[in-house]
Chain A
């Protein structure tokens, strides 16, 4: 039997996932005959598109938490910032088709704005909006990360202050006067890039882009873990001071990783908004960011596919149980989390290994007993 190295196995996994998401799913949606077991409905595809965006956020958090040991409780913030940036463009693209038939977005008419606020104007341009999707989360992460890492805030403290940041931003976005629609956020989008936004073909395209994007992120992480950069990343996680005293500016490394993860999440947010058709400050609630941590932990952190599996599994479970047991969903999620932390430290991906170890231990005991019995 040929023994594959860890990296090779991960690569095979990524390729399989890519094939499934980028080729198989759209194909089954397009060509699968209606009602057949293999057919994926438009609704299903859209749902999965949403999951894939979540999966990317989980991957970005894993880059931070799994590989660098930076538990960020604000990944949902970056996700939402990307979503808001693209949402602004979508809002302006509604044009005069809104409920108030005004060139201004509906919420502005409702709140009595006379004209578009200055910082909204550039978002009429698609390319500016796309740049904003990259730069807004990137700059927020850059400034915040610079301050936090310079002050050597790490571990639990980093987790707490990223949560505080998220909380502050969430409060801010809930304010009507902050010009981003207050607690209603943005919704009622009509078109994206000139296409009708909820047309099946548009949604299929969005799914396809999300799938490709997720695959790209996975390949990026896979490549990163092989480089010296990836090694240093993990060394920072395990023994940051040693790295620092070996001549590496850990602050710079962490800052780069933090910004990259923020941008990665921001793009996912921008893909998410046209697929669900709404973005509001609920996405920024600290609990949302904690939920992302759950996905990673459930899937298995510091593994390449773990976060993807975790994000999809937990969200599937969420859809399922909010439908069947709406009262108990939070209890299920909470219990799942407690159990995973207590009994599955390596998540779903680590489960086979864990079971194998368990089996070996068991077999060893069993054999000992048998030998003892034989001796007697």
Chain B
């Protein structure tokens, strides 16, 4: 299947060829020549393809290697015509043929397919295929691709390529590409350079913090120890090499550390959004909402629904994919808040005085919702696609920052700030806090406590819904999506100190980072177990959490 798909692309290339670019025309000519040539002449021609800057070259060479290029013998002494064979779409159909020189399709019956002879590249030519494709990348106009190709070629440590890289460095103007070339050349130099070249390379790799060069440096040291190196090193030089390795390694551990912190922060950010909702419903209102996890799922399914709606409204266009998410965010918040509102009115409002029982009743609700999701959306998980602007990443100092993670962190900051503002600075927040501390007194002061509780609970649930949108971008959406987060987020609230937003923030981030830091060491499951155990032990030391509540009541 994949194979045929590939051929389709090639045929598409050939069909589109009426208006060839100059590069492509040139490439085709050289290619035909190469097919017809022999021996070292063929090899040289293929190598020269790398300077054409034509995007067709890799496909041509691929096809040639695979044996899809055939020769149609011409009458008399004229040279044979090279043809490209494309597999038929249906099983058992006949293949179609295109002329390599201009991409025209050969009319069926105008020739005898049985008379075709496969064109085989010579063994030596075959060997330069990959290098040619690689070198070709060095002539693309795209700066990033060029830089990548330069580094990649250098890492091959091929003494055929090395002079070409050095040559290229002379003409290159783009600084980032020059840098990559330098790095690549330095790595190659380690194996093939003179002693001086090697020493320069060691220095340069160290200065550049070249992670890519680390292996080459280590190999060199290995070779030196085994006495296999081309030039023996003095003590001093060896020390320099070792220092260079150490410097790069410490750089790597630094980037690893920052990367771990970053991933931890983003995990913590999701946890934080979940836990913030809990901090409000559990911490402030004293309601243990076991259905909080299902509010997350409501949010995630809302994202799925908005995707479906956008797809059906705008067909499966890029526009729908790029914009549905912007709609999904408020939509998920509102649906989850609505569910929270209904839950509060029907169940929780009767249980404010019985916190343990609110735990049990909401667990019942959670079961109902989970099964409800299964009945509505099916037992299989649903996929929600991410808009392209969440998929990319930037690399700074060799650390990859995924846009989706950056987005979650940014959004969490926004939400935390918003919640803090709502609680601390608005009259609404004041009445919320009043109701939470002493409902009877608040009622006596003329606050409509039912309304405040209702809205607070809806708000907390809405936050869970928001968390659901982000989780839908990380994995698939299923009926027990929330279950895997609920235990963790309760622990976040407990460890942070119940009813304290700052505590929740700190403990969510702390737990997120610890989790990420432990995972590579212990594996995902043991990592989580360790985090849970650590929290239990932490509570030994600070039973009230990071920021214990200050109630003095006797029981």
Q: Are A174 and B355 touching (Cβ within 8 A)? A: no
Task: Judge if A282 is at the interface, Cβ distance under 8 Å.
Answer: no
Q: Are A156 and B359 touching (Cβ within 8 A)? A: yes
Contacts of A261 in B (CB 8 A): none
Query: Which chain B residue lies CB-closest to A147?
Result: B540
Q: Mark A122-153, 1 if CB is under 8 A from B, else 0.
A: 00000000000000000000001001101111
Contacts of A172 in B (CB 8 A): 525, 529
Q: How far is the CB of B535 from chain A (nearest CB, A)?
A: 7
Task: Judge if A168 is at the interface, Cβ distance under 8 Å.
Answer: yes
Q: Are A342 and B361 touching (Cβ within 8 A)? A: yes
Contacts of B359 in A (CB 8 A): 71, 156, 159
Q: Are B539 and A341 touching (Cβ within 8 A)? A: no
Q: Are A151 and B543 touching (Cβ within 8 A)? A: yes
Contact of A338 among B365, B526, B537, B555 (CB under 8 A): B365
At the interface with chain B, which of A18-26, A222-230, A290-298, A359-367? A290-298
At the interface with chain A, which of B164-172, B369-377, B451-459? B369-377
The number of A-B residue pairs with CB atoms under 8 Å apart is 124
Q: Mark A280-312, 1 if CB is under 8 A from B, else 0.
A: 000000100010011001000000000000000
Task: Judge if B288 is at the interface, Cβ distance under 8 Å.
Answer: yes
Q: Are A241 and B554 touching (Cβ within 8 A)? A: yes
Q: Are B490 and A290 touching (Cβ within 8 A)? A: no
Contacts of A99 in B (CB 8 A): none
Query: Which chain B residue lies CB-closest to A297?
Result: B360
Contacts of B361 in A (CB 8 A): 337-338, 341-342
Contact of B525 among A174, A239, A342 (CB under 8 A): A174
Contact of B355 among A156, A161, A338, A342 (CB under 8 A): A156
Number of interface residues of B (CB under 8 A): 43
Q: Mark B517-543, 1 if CB is under 8 A from A, else 0.
A: 000000001101100110111011001
Given contacts A165-B532, A331-B371, contact A336 B364 (CB under 8 A): yes
Q: Are A331 and B367 touching (Cβ within 8 A)? A: yes
Task: Judge if A351 is at the interface, Cβ distance under 8 Å.
Answer: no
Contacts of B498 in A (CB 8 A): 157
Task: Judge if A30 is at the interface, Cβ distance under 8 Å.
Answer: no
CA distance in complex: A334, B286 (Å):
21
Contact of A171 among B356, B370, B372, B525 (CB under 8 A): B525
Contacts of A297 in B (CB 8 A): 357, 360
CA distance in complex: A313, B487 (Å):
29
Task: Judge if B363 is at the interface, Cβ distance under 8 Å.
Answer: yes
A156-172 CB contacts (< 8 Å) to partner B: 156-157, 159-161, 163-165, 167-168, 171-172
CA distance in complex: A239, B553 (Å):
11
Contacts of B367 in A (CB 8 A): 330-331, 333-334, 337
Query: Which chain A residue lies CB-closest to B370?
Result: A330
Q: How far is the CB of B499 from chain A (nearest CB, A)?
A: 12
Q: Are A335 and B487 touching (Cβ within 8 A)? A: no
Task: Judge if A188 is at the interface, Cβ distance under 8 Å.
Answer: no
Task: Judge if B35 is at the interface, Cβ distance under 8 Å.
Answer: no
Contacts of B368 in A (CB 8 A): 330-331, 334-335, 338
Contacts of B491 in A (CB 8 A): 160-161, 164
Q: Are B364 and A171 touching (Cβ within 8 A)? A: no
Q: How far is the CB of A157 from chain B (nearest CB, A)?
A: 6
Task: Judge if B350 is at the interface, Cβ distance under 8 Å.
Answer: yes
B268-312 CB contacts (< 8 Å) to partner A: 282, 286, 288, 290
Q: Are A286 and B487 touching (Cβ within 8 A)? A: yes
Q: Are B536 and A330 touching (Cβ within 8 A)? A: no
Task: Judge if A240 is at the interface, Cβ distance under 8 Å.
Answer: yes
Interface size class of A (residues with CB under 8 A): 35 or more
Q: Are B532 and A345 touching (Cβ within 8 A)? A: no
Task: Judge if B366 is at the interface, Cβ distance under 8 Å.
Answer: yes
Task: Judge if B351 is at the interface, Cβ distance under 8 Å.
Answer: yes
* A155, A175, A334, A342 pick with most chain B CB within 10 angstroms: A334
Q: How far is the CB of A279 from chain B (nearest CB, A)?
A: 20
Task: Judge if A375 is at the interface, Cβ distance under 8 Å.
Answer: no
Q: Are A156 and B356 touching (Cβ within 8 A)? A: yes
Task: Judge if B414 is at the interface, Cβ distance under 8 Å.
Answer: no
Contacts of A159 in B (CB 8 A): 288, 356, 359
CA distance in complex: A153, B365 (Å):
26
Q: Are A157 and B494 touching (Cβ within 8 A)? A: yes
Q: Are B360 and A293 touching (Cβ within 8 A)? A: yes
Contacts of B490 in A (CB 8 A): 160, 163-164
Given contacts A156-B355, A160-B490, contact A167 B371 (CB under 8 A): no
Contacts of B356 in A (CB 8 A): 71, 155-156, 159
Task: Judge if A242 is at the interface, Cβ distance under 8 Å.
Answer: yes
Query: Which chain B residue lies CB-closest to A294?
Result: B360
Chain A binding surface, main DSSP class:
helix
Contacts of B286 in A (CB 8 A): 156
Q: Mark A169-202, 1 if CB is under 8 A from B, else 0.
A: 0011011000000000000000000000000000
Q: How far is the CB of B530 from chain A (nearest CB, A)?
A: 9
CA distance in complex: A294, B365 (Å):
13
Q: Are A150 and B540 touching (Cβ within 8 A)? A: yes
CA distance in complex: A230, B335 (Å):
48
Contacts of A160 in B (CB 8 A): 288, 490-491, 494
Task: Judge if A328 is at the interface, Cβ distance under 8 Å.
Answer: yes
Q: How far is the CB of A67 from chain B (nearest CB, A)?
A: 14
Contacts of B282 in A (CB 8 A): 156
Task: Judge if B391 is at the interface, Cβ distance under 8 Å.
Answer: no
Task: Judge if A327 is at the interface, Cβ distance under 8 Å.
Answer: yes
Q: How far is the CB of A144 from chain B (nearest CB, A)?
A: 8
CA distance in complex: A71, B354 (Å):
13
Contact of A341 among B351, B366, B532, B533 (CB under 8 A): B351
Task: Judge if B228 is at the interface, Cβ distance under 8 Å.
Answer: no
Q: Are A341 and B525 touching (Cβ within 8 A)? A: no
Contacts of B243 in A (CB 8 A): none
Q: How far is the CB of B317 from chain A (nearest CB, A)?
A: 37
Contacts of B539 in A (CB 8 A): 148, 151, 153, 157, 161
Task: Judge if B443 is at the interface, Cβ distance under 8 Å.
Answer: no
Task: Judge if B17 is at the interface, Cβ distance under 8 Å.
Answer: no
Given contacts A163-B487, A337-B364, contact A175 B357 (CB under 8 A): no
CA distance in complex: A230, B536 (Å):
29
Query: Which chain A residue lies CB-closest to B369?
Result: A334
Contacts of B290 in A (CB 8 A): 290
Query: Which chain B residue lies CB-closest to A286?
Result: B487
Q: Are B533 and A168 touching (Cβ within 8 A)? A: yes
Q: How far is the CB of B525 from chain A (nearest CB, A)?
A: 5
Task: Judge if B258 is at the interface, Cβ distance under 8 Å.
Answer: no
Q: Are B532 and A175 touching (Cβ within 8 A)? A: no
Contacts of A152 in B (CB 8 A): 543
Task: Judge if B347 is at the interface, Cβ distance under 8 Å.
Answer: yes
A236-262 CB contacts (< 8 Å) to partner B: 238-242
Given contacts A151-B540, A152-B543, contact A168 B529 (CB under 8 A): yes
* B290, B363, B540 pick with most chain A CB within 10 angstroms: B363
Q: Are B494 and A168 touching (Cβ within 8 A)? A: no
Q: Are A333 and B364 touching (Cβ within 8 A)? A: yes
Contacts of A161 in B (CB 8 A): 491, 494, 535-536, 539
Contacts of A240 in B (CB 8 A): 555
Contacts of A71 in B (CB 8 A): 356, 359
Contacts of B494 in A (CB 8 A): 157, 160-161
Q: Are A241 and B555 touching (Cβ within 8 A)? A: yes
Given contacts A161-B494, A342-B350, contact A168 B528 (CB under 8 A): yes
Contacts of B370 in A (CB 8 A): 330
- A selection of 11 A-B contacts at a CB cut-off of 8 Å is A147-B540, A157-B494, A159-B359, A160-B490, A165-B532, A168-B529, A330-B371, A331-B372, A334-B368, A338-B365, A341-B364
Write the residues of chain A forming the contact surface with B, with a CB cutoff of 8 angstroms.
Answer: 71, 144, 147-148, 150-153, 155-157, 159-161, 163-165, 167-168, 171-172, 174-175, 238-242, 286, 290, 293-294, 297, 327-331, 333-338, 341-342, 345
Closest 6 CB pairs of A and B: A337-B364, A334-B367, A334-B368, A330-B371, A334-B364, A341-B361
- Additional pairs, 7, CB under 8 Å, beyond known A71-B359, A175-B526, A290-B290: A156-B355, A161-B536, A171-B528, A175-B525, A241-B555, A341-B351, A341-B364
